[in-house]
Structure 1
Amino acid sequence: MLKPKDADFVERRNAAKDAKAALLEKMKAKKDDPAAEARRAERAAIVAAREEREAARREAAEQAKREEAERLAAEEAAKKAEADKLIQRMVEDEAARKAARDQRYAARKARKGG
């Protein structure tokens, strides 16, 4: 013996089952719809274009990073060359001072006769 409450439950369960079946049929119909296929293809094209733009943007960023690294390396090499040039000039000046000192020493020795 079914109580009215149980009958109400059975009705709700059947209504839910019918609604799920109707939703499933609607989804199956959309799946085979050419317009839906066209929308999916359009979305896929948009996604592919977006990925291409992102890849191009990443490539440009990497290129900029490489160029910056090359510029910094060139600047560093120029600074090192300038420092090496300065060191070389200091060594040459020191050698010239030593040569002048030795020459004065030799001249003094020659004057003293000895």
Structure 2
Amino acid sequence: MKNRTIDSFNERAAASAAAKQALLAKMKTKPTVTAPEGVVDRAARREAELAEVRARREAERAEKRRKLAETEALRREIEEFNRETAELEARANQKAARLARYAGLGSYRR
């Protein structure tokens, strides 16, 4: 048996128009939902996190450079000390050799 809920042409046309209106209503753009004032969007939160990470890394690099410069200064100081010590030791050896030569020449003097 056929379903005869819509009998006349006018009723079928009205039902068709209502269906078309429903389809058009689906396709219309809906107003966008905006975030409440207190909520920070993801991009801003991500940028803040990146800025924090960059600042922390820059601080770590600066600390590393400071330690490296400090180490380099100590190394130079130690090298200078060793150079001076070696020079003084060489002079002391030269003086000892010179004194030994003079001590040996004392018996041959006229």
TM-score with structure 2 setting the length: 0.65
Size of the alignment, in residue pairs? 91
Structure (1/2) with the larger helix percentage:
1
Q: Does 1:29 align with 2:36?
A: no
What stretches of structure 2 of length at least 5 have no aligned partner? 1-19
Matched, 1:52 2:53: no
Write out per-residue CA displacement over residues 63-102 of structure 1, whole angstroms, 9 at most, x where no aligned residue.
Answer: 1011112112211221222122112101100100101111
Aligned pair 1:80/2:81, yes or no?
no
Tell me which structure has the larger Cα radius of gyration: 2
- TM-score by length of structure 1 reads 0.63
Report the residue type matching 2:100 in the other structure. R
d(CA) in 2 for partners of 1:23 and 1:77? 74
State yes or no: 1:61 paired with 2:57: yes
What is the CA–CA distance in structure 1 between the aligned matches of 2:26 and 2:35, rounded to whole Å?
22
Distance in 1 between the 2:96 and 2:73 partners? 34
Q: Aligned-pair RMSD on alpha carbons?
A: 2.8
Instruction: Identify if the C-alpha distance between structure 1 residues 19 and 104 changes in structure 2 by more than 3 Å, giving closer, same or farther.
Output: farther
Change (3 A) 1:70 1:18: farther
Where structure 1 has 5 or more consecutive residues not aligned to the other structure, the ranges are 1-16
